Homo-oligomer: A and B are copies of this chain.
Amino acid sequence: MGKCSNHSDRETSFLCLKYNIYMCEECLQCRDPEIYCKFRSSCPIWFIDKRQKDWDREARAQEEVKTFKVIFKPEEREISVPEGSTLLDAAIAADVHINASCNGKGSCGKCKLILESGNIKSEPTTLLSDQEKAKNYILACQTKVLGDVTVKIPEETIERKLKVAGMGQEATDRFKGLVKDIQPMLIEIPLELEPPTLDDSSSDLDRLNRGLKKTGCCDVDRLSVGIKVMRELATAMREENWNVTASVMRKKCSNEILNVRPDNGQEKSLGLAMDVGTTSIVVCLVDMTDGSIIAATSGHNSQSACGDDVINRIVCAEKDGVAKLSRMALSTINNLINEALDSVDGDFKDIKNVVISGNTTMTHLLLKIEPRYIRREPYIPSVSEFPILKAGNIGIKANPIAAVFIMPGPASYVGGDIVSGMIYSGLHREESLTLFIDVGTNGEIVLGNNDWLMTASCSAGPAFEGGGIRWGMRAEEGAIEKVSIDPETLEPTFSTVGNVSPRGICGSGMIDLISEMLLTGIIGQDGKYKIDQNHIRMKQDGEDLAYIIAFADETPMQEDIVFTEIDIHSLMLSKGAVYAGFMVLLEQAGLDFSMIDRILISGGFGQYLNVEKAITIGLLPDIDHDKFQYLGNSSIAGAYMALLSDYYRKEAIKVSNNMTYIDFSSNSRFMDEFTSALFLPHTNLNAFPSVKIK
């Protein structure tokens, strides 16, 4: 039966078929939507008539827990929460997106809100400036609700539309020709069957199997069928005079008839390729008949309210139950699917094939598979190769019988997204020795060719995605993405995503900035500020020295956007980890950089990356610039290929199984290399001959 979705220690009695939520008896009886159902606003069960309100009142009276109303402006979203809830809890419940990098620990200071009215209690924090405090700024995770509250989400906290580059027509063009022969997992086979007679009185199911056998579509002897299909078979077969369409799922070791519908006419068949990242999720809606991408959407993984990195997500899953994290990811995914469908006036029932590419933690959380051992030595995932699942069983908004392929991942910290990258790049098909890197919330590296594959993960941390950086942010609207600094005046020139006023700085902007600061002598090789502290661009930010990239009057928040020494240090740790990863992996293979034929850079981050500047700070090795190639989001590209092709699905499993994973966590060579790399560009300057430091 499984456990209650709200109380993981209780047996369930009911299953909400609409939202796939298991409920214990208390949940069913209480029916207090604020407490028990995340989907209340669209649920026909909970909000039906006045009885609902009576139950709520009664339930509340019985439990003697007061609830208060919280209104989030500017969207005026309203939610009731029990007394003592944090505003972050309220935001999660109201589906109001707030960034909380540190998982509510109160250490990142990102979940800022402005209190308009109401009774609250805030913990003291040093993460708000006096100026902010004067404006009634509070931190959502550090503030408890003690009465009805109205808060406003400030400009800098509102999440903007993610820039999803290379999707839509661009992607159709980029992906065109990648797959020649389209073979979905769930195939639809139109059949014109012989009606039965007294002399040919075999059962309906036997007749169907006979028809399927004739088409040669699949091995009928290895064909199974479920109870639901058996129940509906007789009616379906007779409705359109023995013309039917059978939906058959081709699985690893058998095939299964999942549906039989009357009429053998053509029905639309859509597919979904998805990249479920720690930070952002990309959804491509694909026409399965020709492989064209008819819509693409992307958004922030709403799990962000539980922290920026996979470790925080796992901690949260251990605390609150993995179902919570699954629901959060599904909420983002299903909203993106809706958005994609709406844009082409599509119907979710037409979606019959789905491929999900994501890192190991993301797939575990999404499928509600126990993730806790991923973060504990010896770092073991529950599952690396997944059976083909049904969308209805995992909560994806698609036809409930849609086949779902989860990209396999070789290890806890090298997941299906990297295998997708292999499939798309074809690294494992070519002789040339290739280094593949994907720097997202984590940094993964693959080294190899058609003979062998080695892979490793270096805990780069979320700095490149804005995590733990004072004004760090993702590549959203308003993010500073390019920076240059005048060597004479030390004045910066920058451009932002969307060409609007700057709201923060993203990964590529940080790399530019540090590289420019190093070359102009603002900082030294140790990452410390060298110039006069009284320079117009320098200021004290709390106890930290900082360079002002944009003055308050240039920004919508009316605050200086600065880059502190601590920020520089965070970024040096990240780049050092990636570079150390390269070094150790090469060493293990007995190679050096000169033997590398090409370096493939994957991930949304790579797109805006200035290779020269990345070399300057020692993130990338100092080799011929022509050997670098930017792949774009290879996770979504590989998912797209696997969606259309059985060949690539099998190849993915093979590649995943053939990758040799090197664990750095207990590798002393990695620690040595890491320490050597905590310098700009590196303690061994000989390795960076092209970097000329003033």
List chain A positions with a Cβ less than 8 A from chain B.
1-2, 12-18, 22, 25, 28-29, 44-45, 48, 51, 55, 58, 196-198, 201-206, 221-228, 230-235, 238, 251-254, 367-370, 372-373, 377-387, 389, 393-394, 400, 411-412, 661, 663, 665-666
Contacts and interface: CB of A to CB of B under 8 A. Distances in A.
A372 B234 contact: yes
B45 A28 contact: yes
B28 A230 contact: no
A16 to B, nearest CB: 6
Query: 7 shortest A-B CB distances, which residue pairs?
Result: A234-B370, A203-B384, A222-B253, A253-B254, A254-B254, A234-B382, A198-B378
Contacts of A251: 224, 254
B198 A231 contact: no
A367 to B, nearest CB: 6
B383 A205 contact: yes
B13 A25 contact: no
A18 B29 contact: no
B234 A373 contact: yes
Contacts of A370: 231-235
A673 to B, nearest CB: 18
A4 B227 CA distance: 16
Contacts of A228: 2
A382 B22 CA distance: 32
A228 B383 CA distance: 12
Given A29-B51, A231-B369, A666-B198, A380 B14 contact: no
A12 B1 contact: no
Given A14-B45, A227-B368, A230-B367, 17 more contacts: A12-B17, A13-B16, A14-B14, A15-B17, A51-B55, A198-B378, A201-B378, A201-B663, A203-B381, A203-B385, A205-B385, A227-B393, A230-B383, A233-B370, A234-B380, A238-B373, A254-B254
5 contacts: A12-B17, A13-B16, A203-B385, A204-B380, A223-B253
Nearest to A372: B234
Contact of A224 (B14, B223, B383, B387): B387
A323 to B, nearest CB: 10
Contacts of A368: 227, 231
Given A13-B45, A17-B12, A201 B380 contact: yes
Contacts of A230: 367, 369, 382-383, 386
Contact of A378 (B197, B222, B224, B377): B197
B14 A203 contact: no
A13 B45 CA distance: 8
**Which of A251, A367, A370 has the largest count of B CB atoms less than 10 A from its CB?**
A370
A44 B13 contact: yes
Contacts of A55: 51
Central interface residue in A1, A22, A234, by most chain B CB within 10 Å = A234
Contacts of A394: 227
A455 to B, nearest CB: 12
A58 to B, nearest CB: 7
A394 to B, nearest CB: 7
A262 to B, nearest CB: 13
Given A51-B29, A369-B230, A196 B380 contact: yes
B231 A367 contact: yes
B13 A29 contact: no
A165 to B, nearest CB: 33
Contacts of A384: 202-203, 205-206
Given A201-B412, A380-B203, A252 B227 contact: no
A669 to B, nearest CB: 14
Contact of A58 (B2, B16, B51): B51
Contact of A382 (B16, B233, B372): B233
Given A28-B45, A203-B380, A252 B224 contact: yes
A665 B393 CA distance: 45
Nearest to A400: B1
Given A17-B13, A25-B44, A58-B51, A382 B204 contact: yes
Contacts of A254: 222, 224, 251, 253-254
A63 B15 CA distance: 27
A22 B369 CA distance: 27
Greatest chain B CB density within 10 A among A29, A227, A233, A665 is at A227
A196 B378 contact: yes
- For A17, A225, A661, the residue with the greatest tally of chain B CB atoms inside 10 Å of its CB is A17
Contacts of A385: 203, 205-206
Contacts of A13: 16-18, 44-45
B18 A382 contact: no
A361 to B, nearest CB: 13
Given A253-B224, A367-B227, A198 B389 contact: no
A308 B228 CA distance: 28
A15 B18 contact: no
Nearest to A219: B253
A393 B230 CA distance: 13
A204 to B, nearest CB: 5
B382 A203 contact: yes
Contacts of A14: 14-17, 45
Contacts of A238: 373
Nearest to A220: B253
Nearest to A28: B45
A428 to B, nearest CB: 20
A204 B381 contact: yes
